[in-house]
């Protein structure tokens, strides 16, 4: 969404701590991954005490990481709320999403499988696509789990503009030479009831459009290099102290803006101070769910 933020992440200059909402997503993904592996390895879904123990483990990991997180009180009120939302997401996925999964080819399931594929070359420099597919059902459908909100009225935006589905299905197409693949977003929204699925089928047209966009960015990035600023993208709500550490730390567009939400920037600024002072752990790589 913001090229300059992408440049700072690439050069290691962006302060990128895990957030409370992302951590709930990460721990939910971990629980789902464990359940899927159990089904594939043991021929049945987990149940009873082992299932409860796994959920308890995810809660413990969330609690341990909480002091070093970028908190968003307007979304997750406190640790108690976060734990309740994590437990609820895991339970709803288990009870309400599993019936939607194709279990006719369990041996062909692929769970959190990474891909790293070259798509083109510019003067000897490779452009590659890398990612991790949450779940492939072995019968032509990729699933990606989401714990964010979903409004079916906006589903057409996913079908028209989403970049994740074309990239993931294209990677699978290269591996298995399939003419078209289905992609399902499996929504288990935090703090909400029920689950939702938004599905689409992708083929050569969508892949060609995605590759053209990727090639365009490759050309732009190689021309600009990483030493100087890339274009700014202040046209979305992510460009704020709630979601961008450069903004919250008084850099980039944040250096020109003093009308923050009350106490919003102080949360991240204080966390940065603690990390620099060695009082909490430095940011680590987290799942890009939200």
Q: pLDDT band at 259, cuts 50/70/90?
A: low
* Least-confidence region, from 72-76, 79-83, 113-117, 285-289: 285-289
pTM of the model: 0.90
CA distances from 75 to 15, 175, 191, 277 (A): 21, 39, 10, 27
Helix (H) or strand (E) holding 282: none
Where does residue 2 rank: exposed (0-12), middle (13-18), buried (19+ CB within 10 A)?
buried
Average pLDDT rounded to a whole number, residues 234-245: 81
Statement: residue 148 has pLDDT above 80:
yes
pLDDT confidence tier of residue 89, bands split at 50, 70 and 90: very high
Q: What is the pLDDT of residue 285?
A: 57
pLDDT at 83 over 80: yes
The order of strands in the sheet holding 196-202 is 110-122, 125-136, 141-146, 181-187, 196-202
Lowest mean pLDDT among 46-55, 143-152, 225-234, 251-260: 251-260
**Token reading at 252:** 């980039």
Residues 280 and 67: beta-carbon distance below 8 Å: yes
- Number of neighbours of residue 246 by Cβ within 10 angstroms: 20
SS3 248: helix
Residue 110 has pLDDT above 80, yes or no: yes
Cα separation, 269 vs 70, whole angstroms: 10
Picking from 127, 101, 88, 129, the residue whose alpha carbon sits closest to that of residue 36 is 101
């Amino acid at each position: 969404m913001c090229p300059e933020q992408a440049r700072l992440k690439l050069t290691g200059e962006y302060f990128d701590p895990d957030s409370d909402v992302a951590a709930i997503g990460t721990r939910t993904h971990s629980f789902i991954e464990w359940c899927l592996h159990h089904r594939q390895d043991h021929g049945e879904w987990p149940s009873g005490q082992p299932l409860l123990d796994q959920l308890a483990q995810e809660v413990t990991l969330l609690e341990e990481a909480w002091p070093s997180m970028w908190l968003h009180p307007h979304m997750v009120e406190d640790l108690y709320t976060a734990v309740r939302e994590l437990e609820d997401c895991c339970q709803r996925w288990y009870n309400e999403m599993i019936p939607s999964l194709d279990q006719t080819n369990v041996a062909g399931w692929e769970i959190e499988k990474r891909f790293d594929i070259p798509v083109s070359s510019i003067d000897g420099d490779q452009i590659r696509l890398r990612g991790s597919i949450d779940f492939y059902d072995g019968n032509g459908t990729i699933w990606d789990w989401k714990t964010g909100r979903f409004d079916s009225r906006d589903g057409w935006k996913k079908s028209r503009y989403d970049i994740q589905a074309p990239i993931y299905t294209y990677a699978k197409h290269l591996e298995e030479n399939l003419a078209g693949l289905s992609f399902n977003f499996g929504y288990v929204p935090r703090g909400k009831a029920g689950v939702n699925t938004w599905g689409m089928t992708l083929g050569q047209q969508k892949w060609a459009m995605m590759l053209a966009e990727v090639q365009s960015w490759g050309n732009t990035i190689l021309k600009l290099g990483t030493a100087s600023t890339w274009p700014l993208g202040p046209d979305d709500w992510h460009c704020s102290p709630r979601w961008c550490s450069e903004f919250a730390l008084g850099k980039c567009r944040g250096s020109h803006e003093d009308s923050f939400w009350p106490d919003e920037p102080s949360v991240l600024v204080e966390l940065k101070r603690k990390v620099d002072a060695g009082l909490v752990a430095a940011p680590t790589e987290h799942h890009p769910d939200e």
